[in-house]
Amino acid sequence: MSDVRGDSLLLEAQGVRKVFAGERSFLGLGPRAEVSPVLHGVDLSMGHGEVTGLIGESGSGKTTFGKCLLRIVEPSGGSIRLEGEDWLRVPKDQLQQRRTRFQMIYQNPYACLNPGLTVESHLKETLKVICGITGSEADDRVAVELGRFGMEDKRGAYPGELSGGEKRRVSVARTLLTEPVLVVADEPTSGLDASVKADVLDAMMYARSERTAYLFISHDLDVIRFVSDRILVMYRGRIVEVMEKERIDPDVDHHPYTVRLFEAARSEVPTEEESKALADSASVVGALEGGCPYRSLCQIWQSRGRPDDACVRERPELITLAPHQKVACHVLAEEAGVASPQTPVSSGSLEAEPSQESVT
């Protein structure tokens, strides 16, 4: 699948890994906790103007991956290039200046707003600090941005006087005001009702330039389906499916985890069985040291009754299942008659673990 639009590659990330070091107990006493691997070699490339959705349940590593791409969180391994520059070689004291072109919209807009500043002051301060723009030019830029987000009448309002949707608009407006080429949007519509959610998404898409790329991070399949050119499905720090917009259809073959996400999106209230599966997934998956990390929850694998097949022996890698679609699933590869790249079970460290097939 081609994932590059325009004349150049904007983002190229290969084998991105993140391991959080274990911490000692209270007051630094006692043994250090075990390390916590979150990302296991994630690849992603994007072109200018592309909108990519990244979906998965809470705890799958979506936000950590987005932060690693911008070095808000330092990755433990892999490579990241932004507009051809080796991003991991940029000195830390230069990151803030370079990030004027690469921005993140955080999940919690309340934490990003100063309660003592008006909406206008927030935007002007952003232009001054990040872009060095002040005076009449700043006034004009702020007026245009407030108009795009329908916030002209809130120019003098303080955060405490704004609704949740209005705070989201201010947070997004601040980000797009700097004219970034890449925006990592982490759950930008979380907690909003349907009508406000649609308004915020429309404003985000309308206000960006034609070269601005979005990485939308969400657990809301409807949101991702609405805005994205393609979707990446992440499960426990690995990409298990990649599909272009035309393959976002519950009636075609998908990775079993993607199927579960489709089912959850169609059901307003999860069943007792679904709730138990979600609650148990973290502890169950943690015990699986090799093979497919999803197999303990995979109804397809369980129904096959083959306790020593490839799902147990090798970790599946992304294979092309159909035009515009890749999956990491031994069962689907076998049924489609496609050779599946495999990662043998190994007792080696995470640092030695190879990355997935490139998401292209």
CB 44 within 8 A of CB 318: no
Q: Among 58, 64, 47, 43, which Cα is nearest to 11's?
A: 47
How far is the C-alpha of 199 from the C-alpha of 181, rounded, in Å?
A: 22
Q: Judge whether 138 and 127 are in contact, CB under 8 Å.
A: yes
pLDDT at 355: 45
- pLDDT over 70 at 271, yes or no: no
Q: Region 263-281: what's the mean pLDDT? A: 58
Residue 286 has pLDDT above 50, yes or no: no
Best CA proximity match to 192, nearest among 107, 259, 265: 107
In the structure, what pLDDT confidence band is assigned to residue 307 with cuts at 50, 70 and 90? low
pLDDT tens column, 184-197? 999 888 777 777 78
What's residue 169's pLDDT?
Answer: 86
Indicate the length of the chain as a whole number.
360
SS3 315: strand
What are residue 303's DSSP bridge partners? none
Residue of 358, 83, 51, 16 lying closest to 184 (CA atoms) = 51
- For the cut 50, the answer to whether the pLDDT of residue 183 exceeds it is yes
Q: If pLDDT is split at 50, 70 and 90, which confidence band does 274 have? A: low
What is the share, in percent, of the chain residues with pLDDT greater than 90? 36
- Strand order through the sheet with 9-20: 36-47, 9-20, 77-82, 85-86
How confident is the model over 202-231, as pLDDT tens digits? 888 887 888 899 999 988 888 888 889 999
Contact 80, 184 (CB under 8 A): no
Query: Could you read off the pLDDT of 17-52 as tens digits, one per residue?
Result: 999 876 655 566 655 656 788 999 999 999 999 999
Whole-structure pTM value: 0.83
**CA–CA separation, 49 and 41 (whole Å):** 25
Mean pLDDT within 114-135? 89
Q: Which residue has the higher pLDDT, 135 or 286?
A: 135
Q: Which residue has the tokens 């009449």?
A: 136
Q: Is the predicted pLDDT of residue 240 greater than 60, yes or no?
A: yes
With a pLDDT cut of 70, the percent of the chain lying above it is 80
Q: What share of the chain is helix, strand, coil (3-state, %, to 5)?
A: 40, 20, 35
| DSSP H or E segment with residue 195 | helix 194-207
Q: Which of 4-8, 132-136, 180-184, 323-327 has the lowest mean pLDDT?
A: 4-8
Q: Name the band, by pLDDT with cuts 50, 70 and 90, for residue 340.
A: low
Average pLDDT over residues 233-238: 94
Among candidate residues 210, 206, 203, 212, the one with its CA nearest the CA of residue 184: 212
Output the six-digit token pair for 90: 């940029």
Which helix (H) or strand (E) segment is 310 a member of? helix 310-313
pLDDT of the residue at 70:
94
Provide the 3-class DSSP secondary structure of residue 127. Answer: helix
Residue 115 vs residue 97, higher pLDDT:
115
pLDDT band at residue 150, thresholds of 50, 70 and 90? confident
Alpha helices for 4-118 (secondary structure H): 62-69, 95-98
pLDDT beyond 90 at 344: no
More confident residue, 43 or 360: 43
Q: Helices in 6-129 by DSSP H: which ranges?
A: 62-69, 95-98, 119-126
Tokens 């298990």, residue located: 240
Which has the closest alpha carbon to 113: 41, 163, 44? 163
Query: For the chain, how big is the Rg over CA atoms in Å?
Result: 22
What SS3 state is found at 65? helix
Query: Cβ atoms within 10 A of the Cβ of 211, count?
Result: 18
| Mean pLDDT, all residues of the chain | 81
What does the pLDDT look like over 43-90, one tens digit per residue? 999 999 999 999 998 889 999 999 999 999 999 999 999 999 999 999
Output the pLDDT for position 25.
57
pLDDT at 243: 93
Residues in CB range of 183: below 8 A, 6 or more apart: 103, 104, 105, 175, 176, 208, 212, 213, 214, 215
**Residue 27: its pLDDT value, please?**
61
11 vs 260: which has the higher pLDDT: 11
Count of C-beta atoms within a 10 Å radius of residue 316:
27
Please report the beta strands in the chain, taking only residues with DSSP state E, as ranges in sequence order.
9-20, 36-47, 51-55, 77-82, 85-86, 102-105, 182-186, 213-218, 230-235, 238-244, 314-316, 319-322, 325-327, 342-344
